[in-house]
Amino acid sequence: MSDECTIHPTHIGGQALLEGIMMRGKYNWAVAVREPSGEIYTEEHDLVSARDRHGWLRWPIIRGIWGFYETMALAIKAFTISAEHSGESEDEQLDSKEISVAMIGGLALAIGLFIVLPAVVTNLLVGSSVERPFLWNAVDGVMRLVAFFLYIWAVSRMREIHRVFSYHGAEHKTIHAYERRLPLETDIIQKYTTLHVRCGTSFLLMVMIVAIVVFSLVPGKAILASWGVSGGGWALLFNIGIRLLLLPLIAGLAYEITVKWAGSRPDNPLVKVLLWPGLQMQRMTTAEPDDSMIEVAVAAMNLVVAREEAEAARRGEAVCAPAPLPEFD
């Protein structure tokens, strides 16, 4: 496929939901859900961020930590809306409390699978981290990556999750078309890939990689010695605790790499090499959408784009016209 359109990196991002998609811009966020009747339900809200009131929340790394928190909070709201409109009956619909409990449970499961379990397995294979700290951290990182790959592979086999992954693909395709300033029409959007550099999957994989580096730099042996601890179970608890404690820092660093740096340089050769593993991982977390899913993505995107254009017009800024249609092989 040859693409002659210039890419204009955008801050607009999205998230796949139950039979729907959420798109988030600078000024608002919108949800579009395919209801059982076949109609598309849409809902939009102003985007209010504490970063608008506190400048320090825009500082590098801190903005990533705060952004992760805001993303999780927004995800709960978006999933609640999709759950209310995607079910056939009230018995199939989830309320906000059930969504919150499910997401908290998912967070606890993630901590168990990707932090506690790899540390325990590494301890069994390598022994105490006090004796061989660099080997211990390397094996722990590999175990974490293996657990992540196996988890993604397992959930991708579930039919309901596969549909969410298809909506994930529709979100990426729609953003690709918008970044090329093309008309948001189904036949045009469908010609683009389901992979995108600013994807949560790539972000999570980058978190795993950054974690290996950061944890290897922690002087665990010296810290434990200063506490009078020689190893054993206390060393294992220390490693689990330090991983939980440093998780926000690691998320902030990964945000700077994948979103702020790589997201604005999609054609940079180094970016392509660095994010290649994450893009390949997306082959498991995205699937080809059907046209009805693209329509849902466009419905959500249109609400965000309309707000972006209205704000630009209010400030007297020029609004980009659609680009000439590209030639596809």
**Overall domain count for the chain:** 1
pLDDT at 89: 54
* Average confidence (pLDDT) over 187-213: 91
257 within some domain: yes
224 within some domain: yes
Q: What is the 3-state secondary structure (H, E, C) of the chain?
A: CCCCCCCCCCCCEEEEECCEEEEECCCEEEEEEECCCCCEEEEEEECCCHHHCCHHHHCCCHHHHHHHHHHHHHHHHHHHHHHHHHCCCHHHCCCHHHHHHHHHHHHHHHHHHHHHHHHHHHHHHHCCCCCCHHHHHHHHHHHHHHHHHHHHHHHHCCHHHHHHHHHHHHHHHHHHHHHCCCCCCHHHHCCCCCCCCCCHHHHHHHHHHHHHHHHHHCCHHHHHHHCCCCCCHHHHHHHHHHHHHHHHHHHHHHHHHHHHHHCCCCCCHHHHHHHHHHHHHHHHHCCCCCHHHHHHHHHHHHHHHHHHHHHHHHCCCCCCCCCCCCCCC
Both structure tokens of 245: 């404690």
116-142 tens-digit pLDDT: 999 999 999 999 888 888 899 999 999
What is the chain's alpha carbon radius of gyration, rounded to the nearest angstrom? 22
Amino acid at 186: T
Domain range for 19 = 13-314
Highest mean pLDDT among 146-160, 217-231, 246-260, 293-307: 293-307
105 within some domain: yes
pLDDT at 319: 58
* Average confidence (pLDDT) over 256-281: 83
142 within some domain: yes
Residue 329 has pLDDT above 70, yes or no: no
Compute CA distances 173 → 127, 167, 176, 190, 237, whole Å: 46, 10, 5, 7, 44
Both structure tokens of 312: 């630009």
pLDDT at 95: 62
35 within some domain: yes
89 within some domain: yes
Residue 90 has pLDDT above 80, yes or no: no
pLDDT class for 49, splitting at 50, 70, 90? confident
How far apart are the two ends of the chain, measured CA to CA in Å? 5
283 within some domain: yes
Alpha carbons within 13 angstroms on the beta-carbon side of residue 294 total 21
321 within some domain: no
Instruction: Supply the pTM of this predicted model.
Output: 0.85
pLDDT at 181: 92
